[in-house]
């Protein structure tokens, strides 16, 4: 499996976690550290996956590097 495919899969898992935690509410901010902790991810893996989710339009981020994310208001096909 390629590194890109792993990042995509991790980004999807992070998105699913945010959907669950936020109850689908797009304005609910979730700490990246908390997501990574729940999913057992290291900092490098979670950073790459968050950036991928942002690029896909799934997340809106706060901070650089992103420390919190929320679901995008615009529905994006997966």
Q: How many CA atoms lie within 13 A of 52 on its CB side?
A: 20
**pLDDT tens, residue by residue, 1-45:** 698 999 999 999 999 999 999 998 888 999 999 999 999 999 999
Give, in order, the Cα–Cα distances in Å from 4 to each of 8, 11, 17, 19, 27. Answer: 6, 10, 20, 22, 28
The CATH architecture one would assign to domain 3-71 is Orthogonal Bundle (1.10)
Task: Indicate the domain borders of the chain.
Answer: 3-71
What's the rounded Cα separation, in Å, for the pair 21 and 45?
Answer: 20
pLDDT over threshold 70, residue 75: no
DSSP 24: T
Instruction: Determine the average pLDDT of the residues in 52-68.
Output: 94
């Amino acid at each position: 499996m390629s590194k890109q495919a792993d990042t995509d899969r991790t980004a999807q898992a992070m998105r699913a976690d945010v959907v669950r935690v936020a109850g689908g509410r797009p304005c609910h901010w979730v700490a990246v550290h908390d997501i990574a902790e729940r999913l057992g991810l290291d900092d490098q893996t979670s950073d790459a996956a968050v950036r991928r989710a942002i690029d896909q339009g799934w997340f809106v981020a706060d901070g650089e590097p992103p420390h919190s994310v929320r679901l995008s208001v615009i529905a994006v096909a997966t």
